[in-house]
A and B are shown apart, each in its own frame.
Chain A
Amino acid sequence: MIIKHSDKIRSPEEIRKNFEKLGYICSDAIATAVYLACQLQKPILIEGPPGVGKTELAKKTSEYLSAPLIRMQCYEGLDEAKALYEWKYGKQLLYTQLLKDQLGDVMRGAKGLDESVDRLHQFGDIFYSEEFLETRPLLQALKEPEGAILLIDEIDKADQEFEAFLLELLSDYQVSIPEIGTVKATSRPIVMLTSNNTRELGDALKRRCLHLYIPFPEPKLEQKIIASQVPELGGELRDQLVGFVKELRMMALKKVPAVSESIDWARALLLLNVEELDREWVENTLNLLLKFQEDVEIVEPEINQLLSNLRKSGRN
């Protein structure tokens, strides 16, 4: 990919600082991964629990490098036709109908079937040319003249066959289309794949990628994230909130709250004008943090305990 401002990716620190300006607070590991991906032109495979900002990272990278973001959401049954290209059947049909008379002219005077077919061949594969090609995300990313950020979201949801199909794209940045030939990237896109680990990805795919794991952030980092996302929230309440979420993450829940949930909670608390976390407020807003009724039932009786733990650690 052509980086318009090559000084933007001079060092991991530079990237981290500028991401912070864009409102994406990241750890050194994330910045290093982006730095290496840009410098080595390698795809990044991003893993981690839902809601820690995997997709957001791709969005911010595209914003930062001012390159278009091309996103492809994966799902079971996704195939080449939806990911790479498809022929515009409708257009092909319409054109054959419209050109019927012309075709008739061309064919006029031909003797026998063989000659007609020969004449048709002289016109080449007009109906299978680029004009009739419907580009899908992958092909679009390859054809982008100045490079793009290609986000392949939730690759673990796609079938194994599709994963194998991606290998050529990821290592050589080219794809083969039988009717046209091999399409090579005009400018290599930066590829980011995200995975929630619902299934183990193949080794071949992993080998081609840098492997970035984004865990739940450290309390300090999370405080910074919330401060940047919800700046109006008071510092003390923010500390309490982060501490509370951290305690929740240590409990055996079906789905522990992620960063996006803590941000939502922070917004809600701000909206409700809460000044300090107490039992009542937590109880009323708990469904913002926990997405399963079972989890709510586990946590509710523990709230007092959690809050008192929080106060103790706060005093220390």
Chain B
Amino acid sequence: MQKVIGDFIHALRHHGLPVSPAETLDALQATELVGLDNPLRLKTTLSLTLAKNLQHRAQLEVLFDQFFQLSEEETEASTTDAENSEKGDNEPATETSASNQTEDSGANEQQAQQNNPDSSGPQVSSPLAQQLLSNDQSSLQVTIASAGKSEGATEMQLFTQKSQVSYRIMQQLGDRELNQELAELSEQPENLALVERLQQARQQLREQVSDYVEQQYLLFTQKSGEQLRENNLKKIKLTNVDHSHYHQMSRLVQKSAKRLASMHSRRKRVTKHGQLDTRKTIAANAAYDGFLFHTKWKSTKVDRPKVMVLCDVSGSVSRVARFLLLFLYSLQDVLPRVRSFVFASDLGEVTDSFDKDTIDVAITKIMDEWANRPTDYGIALQDFRSLALKDIDKKTTVIMLGDARNNNADPKSEIWEEVYKRSQRVLWLNPEGRYSWNTGDSVMREYAPHCSLVEPCNSLRDITRILGTLLQRS
């Protein structure tokens, strides 16, 4: 039982469930109490002890079905096979027993029989063929599993390796010898029945092997392929993300945001100890006849930053904007006060639409409404001044995402300067690389002096890094 649960936990870990050794012990204790005879209860027990949130629970249930279902099917299949061979093919069964007997009688005799084709009954020499004819399913399973291990079935990286691994397992089992023998046997017409049986058994074996490899793939590999792809997606330029990857990308964004959120979800309390708050202390101890039991100290609490985001949603920037907004709104646990504005030429606040709709829907709506207009930073900044400038205070961080390509209009950098002066800090994220700033109609140089930080930002990794530092400093 320990091994089964251990294997299962290994598969869980592979799928990203953080199962600790302590939890493993709990699960073992619990399974001992509950027993293995009721699969539904076993599933409940394991999810009680091993899965610690809803998402993990769902994953565990799916994996549980995969893990235990497949092994059940195997045993069922092997028993029915055994039954079939007992009931249906009476003749071949006796034949195998005959061949087994002769096998026992020694190698010399076998050789002699092979040299003499007229001797009683056809003979097979390759070990795989003998195993197939004896139809011993359990020992076959064991050999498949051990061959699978040595051929790295548990260490596959990509789904394309499946057929290769199956092939290698077949080779390891002795498929080549079997093939040779089959060719030899088929030269003699009297062996036709035997050849046919062997062919059939071989086909069956092939299916078993590929089932086994498929199971191993689902349990141990599927995820690592995904991880590989996710790692690549993190690095890719957001402007180059293929449409087909959008969905996966948004999931990834939410995942990274969640990780960042859990890292910073501890409310930071920087307290200034050492200064007695006399007024509070006297008030708190009035009940004790002037004895000072409770001392009250002066403290300052550092709050979460207030964040305002301005996103240019025109043309090439819109893709990055989409992910930045997605990221920010996935951070709501730690950044509860995000106000977002989008603009191409006119600027508007879109905070409310995020409250009403789910993130994906809201972003699509926003893009439809605001994007696809020529950019004008000047007008946008004017709008921003009338909408939100009065709300900017010393705790506010302003994030601008844009390429500062202004179609040769007036950049109105004096407004940006005002924003910079009123706020705690101003970040400008530019999806273009540094080398293309200030070329053509880009007016980065006008705005750059009025920013605390100017960074190129064009991949999920950049977004994570920049927002991570934002949270750290708060």
Contact = CB atoms under 8 A, between A and B. Distances in A.
Given A93-B291, A199-B333, A207 B48 contact: no
A207 B45 contact: no
A211 B52 contact: yes
B265 A42 contact: no
Contact of A33 (B48, B287, B291): B48
B455 interface: no
B44 A32 contact: yes
A80 interface: no
B434 interface: no
Interface in A28-51: 28-29, 32-33, 35-36, 39-40, 42, 47
B214 interface: no
B262 A210 contact: no
A210 B48 contact: yes
B267 A159 contact: yes
A12 interface: yes
A35 B38 CA distance: 15
A116 interface: no
A73 interface: no
Contacts of A207: 20, 22-23, 52
Contacts of A39: 33
A36 B291 contact: no
A12 B41 contact: yes
A210 B44 contact: no
Interface string B252-292: 00000000001001110000000000000000000111010
Interface in A176-223: 199-200, 203, 206-207, 210-213
A285 interface: no
A29 B48 contact: yes
B54 A36 contact: no
A75 interface: no
Nearest to B34: A32
B17 to A, nearest CB: 12
B288 A211 contact: no
Contacts of A12: 34, 41
Given A28-B41, A213-B57, A36 B33 contact: yes
A36 B293 contact: no
A199 B51 CA distance: 17
Given A28-B41, A40-B26, A93 B262 contact: no
B49 A210 contact: yes
A203 B29 contact: no
A95 interface: no
Contact of A199 (B18, B22, B45, B265): B265
Interface in B357-379: none
A33 B29 CA distance: 13
A160 interface: yes
A160 B267 contact: yes
A203 B47 CA distance: 16
B218 interface: no
B40 interface: yes
DSSP class of A's interface residues: helix, strand, loop or mixed? Answer: helix
B415 interface: no
Contact of B33 (A40, A203, A211, A213): A40
Q: Pick the most buried of A36, A93, A200: most chain B CB atoms within 10 A of its CB.
A: A36
Contact of B266 (A28, A33, A160): A160
Contacts of A35: 33-34
B389 interface: no
Contacts of B41: 12, 28, 32
B451 interface: no
Nearest to A89: B293
A7 to B, nearest CB: 15
Contacts of B53: 200, 206, 211
A206 B52 CA distance: 6
B63 interface: no
A197 B331 CA distance: 16
Nearest to A45: B52
B30 interface: yes
B29 A32 contact: no
Contact of A29 (B44, B267, B289): B44
A32 B333 contact: no
B34 A203 contact: no
Q: Pick the most buried of A33, A47, A160, A207: most chain B CB atoms within 10 A of its CB.
A: A207
Interface string B234-264: 0000000000000000000000000000100
Contacts of B34: 12, 32, 35-36
Given A93-B288, A200-B333, A206-B52, A42 B57 contact: no
B29 A40 contact: yes
A93 B288 CA distance: 7
A38 to B, nearest CB: 10
Interface in A8-58: 12, 28-29, 32-33, 35-36, 39-40, 42, 47
B54 A40 contact: no
A90 B29 CA distance: 49
Contacts of A32: 34, 41, 44-45, 48
5 contacts: A29-B44, A32-B44, A33-B44, A199-B333, A210-B26
A-B complex: 7 closest residue pairs judged by Cβ atoms: A206-B52, A29-B44, A210-B48, A32-B44, A211-B52, A36-B30, A39-B33
Given A35-B33, A35-B34, A207-B20, 12 more contacts: A12-B41, A32-B34, A36-B30, A36-B34, A40-B29, A89-B293, A90-B287, A160-B267, A203-B18, A203-B52, A206-B52, A213-B54
Interface of A: 12, 28-29, 32-33, 35-36, 39-40, 42, 47, 89-90, 93, 159-160, 199-200, 203, 206-207, 210-213
